[in-house]
Chains A and B, each alone.
Chain A
Amino acid sequence: MKKSALFAAICVPAFLAAAPLAAKTLVYCSEGSPENFYPGINTTGTSFDVNEHIYDNIVDFERGGTQVVPGLAEKWDISADGTVYTFHLRKNAKFHSNKNFKPTRNLNADDVLFMFERQWKEENPYFKVTSPNHSYFTDMGMPKLLKSVEKVDDYTVRVTLNQPEAPFLSNLAMQFAGVQSKEYADAMLKAGTPEKIDQEPIGSGPFYLVQYQKDAIVRFKAFPEYWGGKAKIDDLVFSITPDASVRWAKLQKGECHVMPYPNPADLEAMKKDPNVTVMEQPGLNVGYLAYQTTKKPFDDVRVRKAFNMAMNKKAIVDAVFLGSGIPAKNPIPPSMWSYNDSVKEDEYNPEAAKKLLAEAGYPNGLETDLWAMPVQRPYNPNARRIAELMQADLAKIGVKAEIKSFEWGEYRKRAQAGEHQMAQLGWTGDNGDPDNFLHTLLGCASAQSASGSNIAKWCYKPFDDLVTKAKVVTNQAERTKLYEEAQKIFKEQAPWFTVAHAVQLKPVRKEVVDFKLSPFGRHTFYGVDIKGK
Chain B
Amino acid sequence: MTTETMEAPAVAVPTATPPHPLREFWGYFSANHGAVAGLVIIVAVVLVALLAPVIAPHDPNLTNTAIALQPPFWQAGGSISYPLGTDPIGRDILSRLIYGAQLSLLIGIAVVTLSIVIGTVLGLVAGFFRGLTEIFIMRLMDIVLTLPSLLLAIVIVAVLGPGLMNAMLAVALVILPHYVRLARAAVITETSKDYVMAARVSGAGTTRLMFKEVLPNCTAPLIVQASLGISTAILDAAALGFLGLGAQPPSPEWGTMLADAREFVLRAWWVVTFPGLAILVTVLAFNLLGDGLRDALDPKLKR
Chain A residues at the B interface, C-beta cutoff of 8 Å: 244-245, 248-249, 263-266, 268-269, 315-316, 318-320, 374, 384-385, 388-389, 392, 403, 405-407
Contact = CB atoms under 8 A, between A and B. Distances in A.
B267 interface: yes
B62 interface: yes
Given A392-B62, A405-B162, A265 B248 contact: no
Interface string B238-270: 000000100011100000000010111111100
Contacts of A264: 263
Contact of A245 (B62, B63, B90, B266): B266
A374 B162 contact: yes
Interface residues of B, number: 23
A389 B65 contact: yes
Contacts of B158: 407
Given A268-B267, A384-B249, A388-B249, 10 more contacts: A263-B264, A266-B267, A318-B65, A319-B65, A319-B88, A385-B88, A385-B89, A389-B65, A392-B63, A406-B161
A271 B60 CA distance: 32
24 contacts: A245-B266, A248-B266, A249-B266, A263-B264, A265-B263, A265-B266, A265-B267, A266-B267, A315-B65, A316-B65, A318-B65, A319-B90, A374-B162, A384-B248, A384-B249, A385-B88, A385-B89, A388-B63, A392-B62, A392-B63, A403-B248, A405-B162, A406-B161, A407-B158
Contacts of B265: 245
Contacts of B62: 392
A396 to B, nearest CB: 11
Contacts of A245: 262-263, 265-266
A457 to B, nearest CB: 25
A268 B264 CA distance: 11
B156 interface: no
Nearest to A391: B250
A394 B137 CA distance: 51
Contacts of B248: 384, 403, 405
List the 3 shortest-distance A-B pairs measured between CB atoms, nearest first: A319-B65, A265-B264, A263-B263
A244 B161 CA distance: 26
A374 B161 CA distance: 11
Given A263-B263, A268-B267, A385 B249 contact: yes
B191 interface: no
A385 B264 CA distance: 14
A386 B248 CA distance: 14
A401 to B, nearest CB: 12
Nearest to B265: A245
A402 to B, nearest CB: 12
A374 B162 CA distance: 10
Contacts of B250: 388
B61 interface: yes
B266 A269 contact: yes
Contacts of A316: 65
Contacts of B264: 263, 265
Nearest to B91: A388
Given A315-B65, A319-B68, A388 B89 contact: yes
A389 B263 contact: no
Contacts of B61: 388, 392
B63 to A, nearest CB: 5
Interface string B202-228: 000000000000000000000000000
Nearest to B65: A319
Contacts of A315: 65
Nearest to B271: A265
Given A319-B65, A319-B68, A406-B161, A389 B89 contact: yes
B92 to A, nearest CB: 14
A316 B158 CA distance: 29
Contacts of A405: 162, 248
Nearest to B261: A265
A320 B264 CA distance: 12
A440 B179 CA distance: 56
A245 B268 CA distance: 12
Contacts of A244: 263
Contacts of A406: 161
A318 B69 CA distance: 13
A384 B250 CA distance: 8
A450 B248 CA distance: 29
Contacts of B90: 319
Contacts of B267: 265-266, 268-269
Contacts of A263: 263-264
